[in-house]
Amino acid sequence: MDKNNVMANDETVAARIRGMMKESGAHLEGHFKLTSGLHSGNYIQCALMLRYPEFAAYAGEKLAERLAPAKPEIILSPALGGLIIGHEVARALGVPFIFCERQDGIMKLRRFPHPGNLRFALIEDVITTGKSSRETAQILVEGGADWVASASIIDRRSENTMDEWDLISLWKLSFPLYEEDSCPLCKEGLPLVKPGSRKD
Ligand SMILES: [Zn+2]
């Protein structure tokens, strides 16, 4: 495909993902406090979309297509958010899937042997700051594995953060984020909701 076709295809995929989020009720509108502490009028709860296996499979296949050139030999995700999509990506690529989980606040590879010096890709549902993604990937890197790619269904990184980090995503969110002091939704007096906080 030439560059224009690739871009048109990316837009088609993003439109499908947006449609699936709406249809599954995963795209919530209101007044939300995100895990970063910032406020927003939009919140995406990916689990609501991923509960439909055909939607999860679609997202997994599209991420796998984009990851394939990096030739990952194993997929790694952090629990819980990355479990379903990581598994779908691994299935589409025909490679194993493993996950890390928090134990006493520390990310650990509890249930699996370290895969050694394999090439691995890190998969998440949503990436906001990338902090827990890095923490997760570091566990395999420290044992000699090669971190070749990262991907998430949604890229929610704010502008100018982690520009150096090459992240594959299906939908780059551009909803405005507000500091509490200058949040127009707070000024309107809309009740603030704190959805699914990342304490796990
Ligand atoms: Zn607010």
Give the three-state DSSP class for 126: strand
User: What is the 184 CA–ligand 1 centroid distance (Å)?
Assistant: 6
- Angle separating helix axes 83-93 and 53-67, nearest 10 degrees: 60
User: What is the 35 CA–ligand 1 centroid distance (Å)?
Assistant: 13
Q: How many residues does the chain have?
A: 200
User: What is the 126 CA–ligand 1 centroid distance (Å)?
Assistant: 21
Bridge partner residues of 39 (DSSP) = 33, 178
User: What is the 47 CA–ligand 1 centroid distance (Å)?
Assistant: 24
Domain positions in the chain = 3-188
Integer Cα distance of 142 and 114 in angstroms: 10
List the chain pLDDT tens, one digit each, 200 residues.
577 777 778 899 999 999 999 999 999 999 999 877 889 999 999 999 999 999 999 999 999 999 999 999 999 999 999 999 999 999 999 999 999 999 998 999 999 999 999 999 999 999 887 888 999 999 999 999 999 999 999 998 876 565 567 899 999 988 888 999 999 999 999 999 998 654 43
pTM: 0.88
* Topology at the third CATH level for domain 3-188: Rossmann fold (3.40.50)
Concatenate the DSSP letters of all residues of 48-104 into one string.
HHHTSHHHHHHHHHHHHHHHGGG--SEEEEETTTTHHHHHHHHHHHT--EEEEEEET
User: What is the 159 CA–ligand 1 centroid distance (Å)?
Assistant: 19
